[in-house]
Chain A
Amino acid sequence: MHDSLPDAGSLIARLADAIAPTLTPDTLIVGIHTGGVWVAERLHALLKCVQPLGTLDISFYRDDFSRIGLHPQVKPSTLPFDLESRDILLVDDVLHSGRTVRAAMNELFDYGRPASIRLAVLIDRGDHELPVRPDFVGLTIEVPRHQNINLSRLDDGHLTLSLA
């Protein structure tokens, strides 16, 4: 199954092409740690976005905290802008249950009231548990429930997708 996943770089390029016509100079790109930040960094560069890039760590907003506790490596959320009345493009690597996106939206609203939030994901693997759908998607794919799709970054910065 390993070779059935396409190259991450070409998926990101496809995503960027889909997003480009809808992007305004005011759009703020926000990536969700960790994989979503990598994708957001690429999109931010490809789309020549003039606004600073935002990053979110949703650990403090997860709905499974009381069962599994705090994620061991929480990274700070960095939103170097006022998001009041702004258009947000939220970026993640893999959309599965939708719970991460729900947590991310809750966190964004604790910083202010955006005018709109749109969602871009590298891969939508289905099996959603919440009414969350991407506005932009690199690849829609069905994967057996017990398998994970992982995005990893090599030392040279190259992004690769794998099934485990």
Chain B
Amino acid sequence: MNLQLTPDGKLHHLLTLDGLPRAILTQILDTAESFMDVGEREVKKVPLLRGKSIFNLFFEPSTRTRTTFEIAAKRLSADVVNLNIATSSQSKGEAILDTVDNLSAMNADMFIVRHSQSGAAHFIARHVAPHISVVNAGDGRHAHPTQGLLDMFTIRRYKGAFHNLTVAIVGDVLHSRVARSQIHALTTLGVPEVRVIGPKTLLPTGVEQMGVKVFHDMENGLKDCDVIIMLRLQNERMKGALLPSAQEYFKFFGLTPDKLALAKPDAIVMHPGPMNRGVEIDSEVADGPQSVILPQVTYGIAVRMAVMALLAGGTA
């Protein structure tokens, strides 16, 4: 049984894109499309989630994701409470489920969960009362489904369709929950060629089994690509033995104008943020005409509105 779906196949939690049918992904993207104009009108709000309480439960720091979830919830007229657990009662030793129970006792309708442990959102989803929905806002190395969805939304907006695309995901796939969610979504939506490009030490073993082509150099990997997704190189990886240095990494895998020229001339460049300029991406590319990195942020609001609206509707 899929924990994410109700018995009649509706979305109840959003924990991972793995195993979600194409119809649900498309429904979320279509719904997000209709939320796009809300941010541009005089009153940037619709009354859909009036009276609902949404708790942003962030056990790990985040600026962009937390803020866009908060804005999305507010544009749906929900009441939003932000909890930075790292600085609140978890530091006093309260167990996660006690925190969740306490917030449930305050009549929560939805939890948005970010945690450094893989599986944390699933753990909470299994525990909460049936009327409460849980959204995974990133768990360990496992999944970041709303990021994956907003990336699909961005690709569809710029490329129109998925069935004729070559998409490359570049960099630290090994530690990336974003890459996993992207790969699941791209293959489910019918992208015929998904590539991962990176040094052997930063690609998970057996990644081919996810339906991707593996490249260890940019020259071959970026050839004929329509979409290039750069991943953040997490600085803490540099301390281990995985990479010699940031300069060395940039030389081989940093996206420069020269390397970008290997892809199709109308290729778009994406990045989930926060960027390390001069490590995985050159500023000239990040700020250049093919970059859609800032539109990704804007679309993230509409996509998160769509997810919350679909979860909150009809579950009462």
> Closest chain B residue to A106 by CB distance?
B47
Contact residues in B for A20 (Cβ distance below 8 Å)? none
- Decide yes or no whether A10 CB sits under 8 A from chain B: no
Considering only CB atoms, which chain B residue lies closest to A110 in the complex?
A: B43
B34 beta carbon closer than 8 Å to chain A: yes
Mark contacts of B20-58 with chain A using CB atoms, 8 A cut-off: 1 yes-contact digit, 0 otherwise.
000000010011011111100111011110000000000
From B30, B48, B313, name the one whose CB has the most chain A CB atoms within 10 angstroms: B313
B46, A61: Cβ atoms under 8 Å? Answer: yes
User: With an 8 A cutoff between CB atoms, is B93 at the interface?
Assistant: no
The answer to whether B27 touches A77 (Cβ under 8 A) is no
CA distance A65 to B311 in the complex (A): 11
Instruction: Report the stretch among A39-47, A68-76, A128-136, A147-155 that lies at the interface.
Output: A68-76
Contact B47 A60 (CB under 8 A): yes
Contact check, A68 vs B43: say whether CB atoms are below 8 A apart.
no
Task: Tell me the number of A-to-B contacts counted with CB atoms below 8 Å.
Answer: 58
The reply on B100 being an interface residue by CB < 8 A is no
A87 interface contact, C-beta 8 A: no
- The distance from the CB of A25 to the nearest CB of chain B, in whole angstroms, is 24
A60 to B38, CA, bound (A): 10
Complex contacts, B42 vs chain A, CB 8 Å: 110-112
Residue of B nearest to A73 (CB): B30
Q: How far is the CB of B24 from chain A (nearest CB, A)?
A: 11
Known: A110-B41, A110-B46, A111-B41. A68 touches B313 (CB 8 A): yes
Q: Which residues of A72-108 have CB atoms within 8 Å of chain B's CB atoms?
A: 72-78, 106-107
Q: Which residue of chain A has its CB nearest to the CB of B45?
A: A110
Q: How large is the interface on B (under 10, 10 to 19, 20 to 34, 35 or more residues)?
A: 20 to 34
Cβ-based interface call for B314 (8 A): yes
Residues in chain A near residue B10, CB distance under 8 A: 69
Inside 8 A of B47's CB, which chain A residues have their CB? Answer: 60-61, 106
B103 proximal to A (CB < 8 A): no
**Residue A124 is within 8 A (CB to CB) of chain B in the complex:** no
Q: A70 touching B37 by the CB < 8 A rule?
A: no
Interface membership of chain B positions 301-316, coded 1 if the CB is closer than 8 angstroms to chain A and 0 otherwise: 0000000011011111
Contact with B along A143-161 (1 / 0, CB 8 A): 0000000000000000000
B43 touches A111 (CB 8 A): yes
* Across-interface contacts of B45 in A (CB, < 8 A): 110
Could you tell me the distance between the alpha carbons of A73 and B34 in the complex, rounded to whole angstroms? 9
Q: Give A72 to B36 CA distance when docked, in angstroms.
A: 17
Whether B48 contacts A60 by the Cβ 8 Å rule is yes
Contact B310 A69 (CB under 8 A): yes
CA distance A109 to B41 in the complex (A): 11
Would you call A77 and B37 a contact (CB within 8 A)? yes
Is A2 close to B, CB under 8 A? no
Instruction: Name B41's closest neighbour in chain A (CB-CB).
Output: A111
The 8 Å CB contact of A74, one of B34, B314, B315, is B34
A65 touches B313 (CB 8 A): yes
Query: Given B31, B41, B314, which contacts A68 in the complex, CB threshold below 8 Å?
Result: B314
B41 surroundings in chain A (CB, below 8 A): 110-111
Residues of B within 8 A of A75 (CB): 34
Residues in A with CB closer than 8 Å to B30 are 73-74
Q: How far is the CA of A66 from the CA of B47 in the complex (A)?
A: 11
Question: What distance in Å separates the Cβ of A145 from its nearest Cβ neighbour in chain B?
Answer: 24
Tell me if B43 and A57 are in contact (CB < 8 A).
no
For B43, what are the chain A residues with a Cβ–Cβ distance below 8 Å? 109-111
A48 at the binding interface (Cβ < 8 Å): no
Report the Cα distance A106→B47, complex, angstroms.
Answer: 9
Q: Which residues of A contact B38 (CB under 8 A)?
A: 60
Evaluate contact between B313 and A72: CB separation under 8 angstroms.
no
Can you offer 7 A-B residue contacts whose CB atoms are under 8 A? A60-B35, A69-B314, A69-B315, A74-B30, A76-B34, A106-B47, A110-B43
Give 4 A-B pairs besides A61-B48, A74-B31, A76-B33 with Cβ atoms closer than 8 angstroms. Answer: A60-B46, A66-B312, A70-B314, A110-B42
Listed from nearest, the 5 A-B pairs whose CB atoms lie closest are: A69-B314, A69-B313, A60-B46, A110-B43, A74-B34
